[in-house]
Amino acid sequence: MILRMRITLALLLAAALFAPVARAADPSASLKRGTPDLKSAGPMAFGPDGILFVGDTTGAALFAIDTGDRSRTEKPAAIKVENISKKIADMLGTRPQQVRINDLAINPLSGNAYLSVSRGRGPDASPLIFRVNGDGKLEELSLENARFARADIPNAPAAGAQAPAKAKGKGQMPDPRSLSITDVAYVDGRVFVAGLSNEEFSSRLLAIPFPFNSEVDGASVEIYHGSHGRFETRSPIRTFVTYKIKGEPYLLASYTCTPLVKVPVADLKAGAHVKGTTIAELGNRNNPLDMVVYQKDGKDYLLLTNSSRGVMKIPTEGAGQAASITSRVPDRQGLGYETIASLKDVEQLDQLDGARAVILVRGQGGALNLETIDLP
C-alpha cells in the first residue's frame, strides 16, 4: 500500500511539473477572451489548432483568432456554393453589391472554408468572417467573447496617404494603407506578413513569432522588375508561399506585372535589406491574386491565379538553378508555365487536400461561386 501511494504521489508530482511545459507549448495559450477590434478583414491564413490569422489593413494589425474548429477529417467533403456573395448579402440584409469577399482560407484540420468579408465600401465597411462547411452551410463566425491575440504592424503607411508618384494613374497602389498587409502565412512558429511600410524601402516582409510577443522582425525587400527594367523597393509582394529548395526554406513571391521571386527565409532578419532573386517574369499588365504549392505525379508545382492571365501551373524543379533576371524583359522569361484553360475568372484559391483545391470563381452574370476542383 505504501509503495502504491509513493508511485501515485510521484506520478502526480511529475504531472504537476510537466503541466506548465505542456501549457506553454499550447499555441492557443496566449489567447485571451474578448472581442477583437477588427477594423477590416483582409488576407488570412491558418496556423495550428484551428487558429485563424487575419490581416487588418485599416487597423494595421494581425489578429490570431481561435475558431474552435478542430474536428479532424482525412477526406474533406467537396465544397460547392453558388452565388455566395448573394447568400451572404441575404444573411446580412443588404445587396450583393455591398458585399466584398477579400480572401479565402481552408482550415487544414476540418476542411471548412473561411471567407474574410467587407460589408459596405470604403473606410466605413464592416469586417466579417464567414465559414462554409462541406455541406455548403454558410454561417458567420461570431467574434464576440472569442479567444484572440493581436500583434500591431509597425510603421504602416498612414491612413489616407498618397501613392508614390510613379504609381499614380496605373491602378497599382491607389492607397498604400490598403497594402500594409497583402498576404500572410504561418510556418514553424512564425507568421510571415508581406506588405508596404512607410519607410524609405517600403516593400517588406515581417516575421512575427507566435504565440505573439513584443518581437516583430522586419526586413525590406528589393527586386529586379524585368517588365519595368529596374530595381524596385516600393512594389509590394501580392501573394507568396513557403517552399524548400535543397532543404532550405524560401519564400516564392509574386509581384504586380508579374515577377516571380525567391527569398531565403534565413535572410529575413530584423533590419535587413534583402535582395530577392527574380527567377521568372510571367507577363506584364497583370496582377497576381493567389497562389498555392502542391505535388502531383512526384513533382512540385505552383498554381497561381491572376487578374488578366488566367491560372498558371508552374513547375518548381528549376527554381533552385534558375538564372537571376537582371535586364528588361518584354513579356515572359525564366520558369515556364502552362495556362489552365478550364480555369477562368478565378479570384481566390486554397488547397483542400493533396489532390484538390477550393476556388472562388466568377461565373455567369458576375456571380461569385465557391467550388472544389482537382489540382491540375
Q: Which amino acid is at 372?
A: T
Same domain assignment for residues 204 and 325: yes
Count of structural domains, the chain: 2
Q: Is residue 16 part of a domain?
A: no
Same domain assignment for residues 95 and 68: yes
Same domain assignment for residues 206 and 321: yes
In this predicted model, what pLDDT tens digit does every residue of 218-248 receive, in sequence order? 899 999 999 889 998 988 899 999 999 999 9
Same domain assignment for residues 118 and 165: no
Cα distance between residue 157 and residue 166, in whole Å = 17
Q: Is residue 344 part of a domain?
A: no
DSSP string, 180-192: S--EEEEETTEEE
Q: Is residue 367 part of a domain?
A: no
Instruction: Output the pTM of the full model.
Output: 0.89
The candidate with the shortest Cα–Cα distance to 227, out of 327, 308, 304, is 327
The candidate with the shortest Cα–Cα distance to 156, out of 172, 169, 175, is 175
Cα distance between residue 211 and residue 71, in whole Å = 22
As a residue count, the chain comes to: 376
Cα distance between residue 44 and residue 52, in whole Å = 7
Same domain assignment for residues 44 and 135: yes
Q: Is residue 5 part of a domain?
A: no
- Give how far the C-alpha of residue 269 lies from the chain's centroid of Cα atoms, to the nearest Å: 20
pLDDT value at residue 5 = 35
Q: Is residue 268 part of a domain?
A: yes
In this predicted model, what pLDDT tens digit does every residue of 39-72 receive, in sequence order? 999 999 999 999 999 999 999 999 999 999 999 8
Q: Which three cell numbers stand for residue 62?
A: 494581425
Cell 521571386 belongs to 261
Q: Is residue 188 part of a domain?
A: yes
Same domain assignment for residues 63 and 207: no
pLDDT at 142 over 90: yes
Q: Which domain holds residue 95?
A: 31-152
Which CB contacts under 8 angstroms, 24+ apart, belong to 165-168? 166/234, 167/234
Q: Which three cell numbers stand for residue 55?
A: 490581416
Backbone angles phi, psi at 155, to 5 degrees: 55, 40
